[in-house]
A and B are shown apart, each in its own frame.
Chain A
């Protein structure tokens, strides 16, 4: 982390960049926040550890419009989102200085809570460099957890340790993938329609329509969003009934279909813990099945599957009932 801070300070001092985007300490040891850093003293609060899961590429949409270059810290999976934003002409590459930061998987505090760890005072062993267990110093004494047990679900289906776009890389990354990305989707596909309907109903009825999934998504970057209109009755939870929330989530996922890099931010930020990535992954899986493998953000020149076609595409009637 010190190496990263020194390098960022150096870049600002020699005028290569005007500001940097990174993470600063939050109220708790487990919730660092994305932040801008301009002056050397700002870096006193700079932090980069296992809890810095936020994907900073979306912040570059605004930052790239400011005068001067902005340095941005991107993890390997975040660089896919950044590439996708370049593809959509949402960021100006000239105005960005990308520092690829190392990553050995990001952590989910909910997993610790589920394991019964409460009253956390401080956490150690979450540094980027180390590779030991995580130690929680709580009001009830010390508790230990293995790093991999604490990892976000999305890190178990890691896209790899390589940054796809960067100006320089600081730190080592590790491929933490140890599960099949489509395992959950396939499991749901195998259920009966009644079970599937009941499953999604129970999951989606938790939705409080906070719009966090939309706001955090690097692919959701329209200036004017369809969900913000008064005609779309999704603004208040009071209006919501059983179907409205399904419609919200289908449309949200549909709008990023073919552009979603599967960064998993939607599921990470959901305060209700709805597995939103299941929608995005279903679209990714279908796109892979119907139109050939496609990873959004891998290549900034590649045509997105939904803005492309071939003369002998699958007919919609053949897209359904494949499992029967």
Chain B
């Protein structure tokens, strides 16, 4: 490891699962409105927030993500009518379980963000990124084999 690398500040790796119909378009709007959000956020497009399997989140953590955020349409606005209501219940249980197992609270988040809310998307991502940065590297959920 060279001297330069040691001095590097910690950049969190954030995985954002964005629903195709609202949040992904919201991210697009944020981009076309020239609103900035950190490049550490890696967006994965999913058809609906209800598509997000708890395993996706754990897998992301295992593979080295420091934070995972799930973005979907506002409750009531789901393209498939009810997908995000189911997602809301699942994620509430999963997050509570992660907390129970001693994982820091701030690493996971669910945010409802519509296609018109580019500003909200950018603000949310900036906030979440700061939060994860303050928590530091994800040690408890990571898998040593997946780190290089």
A residues within 8 Å of B by Cβ? 185, 188-189, 193-200, 226, 241-244, 246-247, 250-251, 253-254, 257, 279, 282-283, 286-287, 290-291, 305-311, 313-321
For B85, what are the chain A residues with a Cβ–Cβ distance below 8 Å? Answer: 309-311, 313
In order of increasing CB-CB distance, the 4 nearest A-B pairs are A197-B102, A196-B102, A309-B85, A319-B92
A291 touches B89 (CB 8 A): yes
For B136, what are the chain A residues with a Cβ–Cβ distance below 8 Å? Answer: none
Q: Quick one: which of B59, B93, B103, B105 contacts A197, CB cutoff 8 A?
A: B103
B95 touches A320 (CB 8 A): yes
Number of A-B residue pairs, CB cutoff 8 Å, is 118
**Chain A, residue nearest B86 (CB):** A309
Whole-angstrom distance between the alpha carbons of A251 and B75 in the complex? 25
For B145, what are the chain A residues with a Cβ–Cβ distance below 8 Å? Answer: 241
For B90, what are the chain A residues with a Cβ–Cβ distance below 8 Å? Answer: 306
A146 to chain B minimum Cβ distance, whole angstroms, is: 33
A241 touches B102 (CB 8 A): no
For A193, what are the chain B residues with a Cβ–Cβ distance below 8 Å? Answer: 99, 102-104
A316 touches B88 (CB 8 A): yes
B93 touches A189 (CB 8 A): no
Whole-angstrom distance between the alpha carbons of A286 and B90 in the complex? 11
For A253, what are the chain B residues with a Cβ–Cβ distance below 8 Å? Answer: 97
- Given the interface contacts A193-B104, A247-B58, does A320 sit within 8 Å of B96 by beta carbon? yes
B92 touches A200 (CB 8 A): no
| Interface SS, A side | helix
List residues of B (43-100) whose CB comes within 8 Å of A's CBs: 54-55, 58-59, 61-62, 75-76, 82, 85-86, 88-100
For B3, what are the chain A residues with a Cβ–Cβ distance below 8 Å? Answer: none
For B93, what are the chain A residues with a Cβ–Cβ distance below 8 Å? Answer: 254, 257, 283, 286-287, 290, 306, 319
A250 touches B101 (CB 8 A): yes
A286 touches B143 (CB 8 A): no
**Is B42 engaged at the interface, CB distance under 8 Å to the other chain?**
no
Which of B55, B90, B97 is most buried by chain A, counting CB atoms within 10 A of its CB?
B97
For A282, what are the chain B residues with a Cβ–Cβ distance below 8 Å? Answer: 96-97, 100
Q: Quick one: which of A200, A310, A311 contacts B102, CB cutoff 8 A?
A: A200
For B54, what are the chain A residues with a Cβ–Cβ distance below 8 Å? Answer: 250-251, 254
Whole-angstrom distance between the alpha carbons of A110 and B88 in the complex? 41
For B92, what are the chain A residues with a Cβ–Cβ distance below 8 Å? Answer: 286, 290, 313-316, 318-319
